[in-house]
Structure 1
Amino acid sequence: MMTIKQINVTVGEITKGYTNNDEQGIRGYNGLLDIRPPYQREFIYSEKEQQAVITTVLNGYPLNVMYWVKRNDDAECPYEVMDGQQRTLSLCEYVDGQFAYDFKNFFNLLPDIQQKILNYPLTIYVCEGEASEKLEWFKTINIAGKPLNEQEINNAVFAGPFVSDAKRHFSKINCAAYRLGKDLLNGNTIRQDFLKKALEWMADHETRNGKRQTLVGYMAAHQHDTNANNLWSYFQNVLNWAITNFDIKKYHKIMKGLDWAFFYDKYSNETLDCASINKRISELLRDSEIQKQQGIIPYILTGDEHYLDLRAFPEDIKFSVWEKQDHKCRICGKEFDFEFMEGDHITPWKDHGRTNIDNCQMLCRECNRRKGSK
């Protein structure tokens, strides 16, 4: 049964013995507090938000309640931060001299101001119970500041060696995943966007190979793996294939955000004519009929014109042609009201047909569908 009790801790106590390094992790409270346990997010407070924490303390305003968890199996470091990591790190970093407030470092403050900060009382609630109870509370308490996103919650629910190792690859500033994929993926590593995309790609990969899988299902199945090497290897293979076969220096704007895992799984065993592909990309980028340039590479690989969002005839051209055809479908010859007819390219785009009045014919919906399916 989970128990919750309130304790009072000062800024001076929580910042005492503060360490932040790869070997020892992030510790405070004289080494007794794990400030960033495996399920926690990376530090995301902006400088402005850090400054707001110090403003609150200096003005004696109440800082939001923080939540810790009491560990039953770690006498060396018996507490971990459940909620309040960003505020705790802001306080620790400021007292440690890592940033300035009002152009003053903590060590440049007058002694009485320093003491005012160190004596500031923090309200902490400590909960003790089973791991499942701890995580459920973590999901439901009011997270102050920036709400957790879906992937951060998943990291909490499936905390373990797999997530810890995955975050090493995908969730740090300038991490390996960012260096490899910054021109190919959207999002922010700190907010877990790269990790989420890697997991989505892996789940889709397993599904395409006959093992129906979801992101959550994959995390659950591998929660207790000692590392995330398989996920990292697949991610590297996908992006290295994209970088090898396409000129990322020239075309990174239309390459970013594509489902590279889908194309890797489908085409990685083929030998692509890279020179021909890059020449075709250059040609298509100059084609004013293409409304979605990011669809050019998918189109080249698949031949599916839907990726390109080709120009459609504007209403004035369609109405003019409808009038010229005496309101009749060019194929079946039946008369239709304007709203039941569609503009069609006489000469298709692939045969260099343009979207102008000379290349437009009005067809009924049924004839247009039948023509399009041929």
Structure 2
Amino acid sequence: MNIDFEPIAVRDVYDGYMNAGYDGVVGYGGALDIRPKFQREFVYDNARQQAVINSILSGFPLNTMYWAKQTDPSTGDVAFEMLDGQQRTMSICEYLEGSFSVIVGGNPKTFDNLSAVDQERILDYKLMVYQCMGDEDEQLAWFEVINIAGLTLRPQELRNAVYTGPWLTDAKRYFSRENQGAHKLAKDYVTAGDVNRQDLLQKAIEWQGGKGDGSVKSYMNAHRKDANANALWTYFKSVIDWAKLIFPTRRAQLRSVPWNVLYEKYGQDQLDAGELEKRVKALMSDDEVQKRSGIYTFVLTGDERALSLRAFTVNQKLEAYEKQNGICPKCGEHYEFEEMDGDHILPWSKGGKTTSENCQMLCIRDNRSGG
């Protein structure tokens, strides 16, 4: 791969700038694709955008940018893709477009309100650009290296750079747009994280392809050349539609439920949403339940571990231990305190509370065997 260094003036990068949102961003006379299909969405907040402009006005250097260079063999036309530097480049161009202001001399000023001297200072500012030319795999491998070093991307953003293709382009259409597609459908039922930073896309892949970085990579690699992401979207939508059908009452705890796991096991069962809601409502007011998001799993599975039921305190267990003189009421043998654990005399499932009166100490063997 060939790599060349070239300082490029802001005015040249801004020439032909057009921000069409999700349909793409171009500049440099239309020759620079500022947001290629593998890039993340624009995520700089106003403070970071202002910091970029203030750095330029102060003459401070910005970090190096990286462009991928491509030449059309039939025409000789040269085009570029932004490998690294999208956020800074768009901040500069959006300021020139008048999208935000910066404080200059104690007053907020858009580009049009700057003095002619300051305007020229920005337009003449040289961006430090490395241009690389190589095949797609070489460019993307380099992109992975420079972003690991800079710690600028989240894991899914970095995976997007490596496993680019028609499948990813289509997947981002569903999962990378806030208040649209998957986010609009599921925001009451999943913790979406930062949609623009690809958190929701990662969750969708984990649901269908398995958890862990290796599983997500394997799934993306296997599907990167697929014409579309219909399978991923269809599965995600099926899971959420099922969750909404059986648990239609909106609560904050819904966002922490492993819906894909429950869907795989109970998605084909005939469930009574009204009866499930009665049980959920009762459990929500039960002060014995410590993990309320686990209620949804419990009413389907019956597994009390999902609830993290209130445990006996050390004092309550010591009191019971002294009353029993260290004797396990199940096997009749004596044990040290550390060899026993608290158990409900009347089980929680039958209305028993975690109180001193309802505490007995069982040896660990009897307690684990269910008494």
Cα 1:76–1:237 change in 2 (3 A) is farther
Match in the other structure for 2:146: 141
What is the CA distance between 1:70 and its match in structure 2? 0.8
1:202-252 Cα offsets, whole Å, 9 max, x none, are 1149xxxxxxx9322221111111111111111111111111221243x2x
Name stretches of at least 5 consecutive residues in structure 2 with no aligned partner: none
Match in the other structure for 2:206: 200
Moved over 3 A (4+): 72-77, 142-146
Identity between Structure 1 and Structure 2 (%): 46
What is the CA distance between 1:73 and its match in structure 2? 4.7
Give the alignment of 1:1-374 within 5 angstroms. 2-21=1-20, 25-73=24-72, 78-102=79-103, 103-142=108-147, 147-186=152-191, 187-204=193-210, 214-249=215-250, 251=251, 253-371=252-370
1:259-318 Cα offsets, whole Å, 9 max, x none, are 111212222212211111111111001100000000001000111000000011000010
**Quick one: distance in 2 between partners of 1:146 and 1:175?**
28
Instruction: Name whichever of 295-304 and 217-226 sits farther off.
Output: 217-226
1:56-85 Cα offsets, whole Å, 9 max, x none, are 000000111111111245966610111111
**Quick one: distance in 2 between partners of 1:106 and 1:239?**
46
**Quick one: distance in 1 between partners of 2:172 and 2:77?**
24
Cα 1:24–1:256 change in 2 (3 A) is closer
Q: Secondary structure at the match of 2:370?
A: helix
**Quick one: distance in 1 between partners of 2:200 and 2:143?**
23
Instruction: Please tell me whether the aligned partners of residues 84 and 144 of structure 1 are also in contact (alpha carbons under 8 angstroms).
Output: no
Cα 1:256–1:158 change in 2 (3 A) is same
TM-score under structure 1 length normalisation? 0.93
Code of the residue aligned with 1:200 in structure 2: it is: E
1:77-117 Cα offsets, whole Å, 9 max, x none, are 61011111110110111111111112211112222211111
Match in the other structure for 1:208: none
Instruction: Please tell me whether the aligned partners of residues 178 and 184 of structure 2 are also in contact (alpha carbons under 8 angstroms).
Output: no
Match in the other structure for 1:210: none
Instruction: Please tell me whether the aligned partners of residues 33 and 77 of structure 1 are also in contact (alpha carbons under 8 angstroms).
Output: no
**Quick one: distance in 1 between partners of 2:114 and 2:182?**
40
What is the CA distance between 1:368 and its match in structure 2? 0.8
Cα 1:53–1:145 change in 2 (3 A) is farther
Q: Secondary structure at the match of 1:71?
A: strand
Q: Secondary structure at the match of 1:371?
A: coil
Q: Secondary structure at the match of 2:320?
A: helix
What is the CA distance between 1:38 and its match in structure 2? 1.6
Instruction: Please tell me whether the aligned partners of residues 248 and 255 of structure 1 are also in contact (alpha carbons under 8 angstroms).
Output: no
Q: Secondary structure at the match of 1:343?
A: strand
Cα 1:44–1:146 change in 2 (3 A) is farther
What is the CA distance between 1:143 and its match in structure 2? 6.3
**Quick one: distance in 2 between partners of 1:218 and 1:146?**
24
Q: Secondary structure at the match of 1:283?
A: helix
Q: Secondary structure at the match of 2:197?
A: coil
- The Cα RMSD (Å) is 1.9
Instruction: Please tell me whether the aligned partners of residues 64 and 144 of structure 1 are also in contact (alpha carbons under 8 angstroms).
Output: no
Name stretches of at least 5 consecutive residues in structure 1 with no aligned partner: 206-212
**Quick one: distance in 1 between partners of 2:295 and 2:71?**
56
**Quick one: distance in 2 between partners of 1:368 and 1:293?**
25
Code of the residue aligned with 1:270 in structure 2: it is: D
Report the number of matched residues. Answer: 362
Q: Secondary structure at the match of 1:174?
A: coil
